[in-house]
Each structure stands twice: as structure tokens, then as C-alpha cells.
């Protein structure tokens, strides 16, 4: 009887945490750079009130675009790993942590999205002694339209669009990395036509290569 496959993952080492921290710093710089570029470009769009363009170049619009881009890129990267087991061997675990948990995790932001949605919905007006941030302002947060429906639309676009782009990224990644894709190297399907690569277990039984692993307990800590 073959031994049971191990399902636990190795704990993160100090070097792993350092890789996440480095990726987080890079992602934060990219996000801040996007906000600065949007502010600079939006200044020339009719004083920040240029309809759709002005809304997308506002801080809320840039945050929306960055969240959507990050969701799509993360889905694409994980889709590639799911379709092509060779990439897990080529890309070290720490680099995967840097790119996913670190860079893309900090490039996207849920806290800013939640705050923008709360302000656009006028939730801050319920604080005693406070006035609504967007009531009667004509435009909301630096160019994004004001009002409850605007806040609801921002949340729907962020969550729904993020799910759609993450799913699309997974599909594209699996197509590109599959056995007929440009990154195919004979590892997209295992012996017998399986849906993933196989690696030998102790005892000789093949183990299907299922989803991607961001960390591997047998790699160096």
C-alpha cells in the first residue's frame, strides 16, 4: 500500500518573507505611480470633470483599473502554472511568492476600494457632526461621479470585473501553457492522456499534477 501523499506546505522562511516584502514594495510603488500618473493626466481633462475619461483618471478610477489589471494578471500567471508543470520547476518558489503574494497583492487594494465605496454611498454622513464627503459636490472623489448609485456601480465593477478578468486570465493561461500552446513542452498532459503532469509517488504510483503550487515543501527553505 502506497504511503499517503503529504498535503501540508512548508512554513515560510525568512528569505520567503523577504521575497514577499520586496514584491510588496515594488507593487506599492507601481500602484502609487499609477495614481500619480492618473492625477497628472486627469488635470487636463476639463478640470477633472471630463465624463468617463475624468472618472477613470480619478483616484477611484485608477484604483478600479489597477484592481482589474491585477486580477487578470494573477489569473493568467496561475493559469500558466496549472497548465504547464515545467513552469513550477523553472520558476523558483520565492519568485512565485514575490510575483503573486508580494507584487500583485500590494498592487491591488481592497481597503481603498471599500473606503471609496463607503464615501460615495455617503456612509460618513452618519457620523455625528460630520458632513457627507460627496453630497452636493457634483463630482465625487476627485472626478468620480457622486451619489449612492455611483458607489454601487464602483463596487459592482470592481468585484464583478475582477472575477471576470481573473477567470479570463485563468482560461488564457491554461490555453497558452497547454499541450498545444506556445509554452507546451510535453508536460501539459501526463501518461495516458491525463489532464496534468504526473510525478512519481513513493511506491511507484503516479500523482496527477493538479493546481499550481506557490510553495513546495520539498524545496529549500
Distance of CA 144 to the CA centre of its chain: 23
At 126 the pLDDT is 54
Distance of CA 78 to the CA centre of its chain: 10
Say what the pTM is.
0.69
pLDDT tens digits for the chain (221 residues)? 444 444 456 788 999 999 999 999 999 999 999 999 988 887 766 544 557 777 788 888 899 999 999 999 999 999 999 998 888 889 999 999 999 999 999 999 998 888 888 887 776 555 554 444 444 333 445 566 666 777 788 889 999 999 999 999 999 999 998 866 676 654 444 444 444 444 444 554 444 445 555 555 444 44
CB atoms within 10 A of CB 6: 8
Cα torsion for 71, 73, 79, 84, to the nearest 10°? -160
At 53 the pLDDT is 78
Largest CA distance in the chain: 73
Residue of 107, 103, 80, 97 whose CA lies nearest to 188:
80
- pLDDT tens-digit series, residues 9-30: 678 899 999 999 999 999 999 9
- pLDDT tens-digit series, residues 167-184: 999 999 999 988 666 766
End-to-end CA distance of the chain: 30
Amino acid at each position: 500500500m502506497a504511503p499517503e501523499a503529504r498535503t501540508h506546505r512548508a512554513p515560510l522562511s525568512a528569505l520567503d518573507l523577504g521575497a514577499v516584502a520586496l514584491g510588496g514594495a515594488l507593487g506599492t510603488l507601481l500602484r502609487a505611480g499609477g495614481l500619480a500618473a492618473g492625477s497628472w493626466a486627469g488635470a487636463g481633462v476639463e478640470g477633472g470633470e471630463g465624463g468617463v475619461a475624468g472618472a477613470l483618471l480619478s483616484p477611484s478610477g485608477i484604483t478600479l483599473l489597477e484592481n482589474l489589471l491585477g486580477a487578470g494578471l494573477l489569473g493568467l500567471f496561475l493559469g500558466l502554472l496549472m497548465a504547464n508543470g515545467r513552469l513550477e520547476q523553472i520558476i523558483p518558489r520565492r519568485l512565485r511568492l514575490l510575483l503573486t503574494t508580494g507584487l500583485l497583492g500590494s498592487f491591488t487594494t481592497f481597503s481603498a476600494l471599500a473606503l471609496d465605496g463607503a464615501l460615495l454611498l455617503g456612509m460618513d454622513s452618519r457620523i455625528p457632526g460630520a458632513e457627507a464627503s460627496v453630497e452636493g459636490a457634483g463630482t465625487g472623489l476627485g472626478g468620480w461621479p457622486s451619489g449612492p448609485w455611483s458607489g454601487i456601480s464602483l463596487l459592482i465593477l470592481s468585484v464583478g470585473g475582477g472575477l471576470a478578468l481573473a477567470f479570463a486570465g485563468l482560461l488564457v493561461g491554461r490555453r497558452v501553457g497547454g499541450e498545444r500552446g506556445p509554452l507546451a513542452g510535453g508536460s501539459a498532459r501526463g501518461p495516458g492522456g491525463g489532464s496534468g503532469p504526473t510525478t512519481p509517488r513513493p511506491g511507484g504510483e503516479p500523482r496527477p499534477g493538479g493546481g499550481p503550487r506557490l510553495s513546495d515543501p520539498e524545496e529549500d527553505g
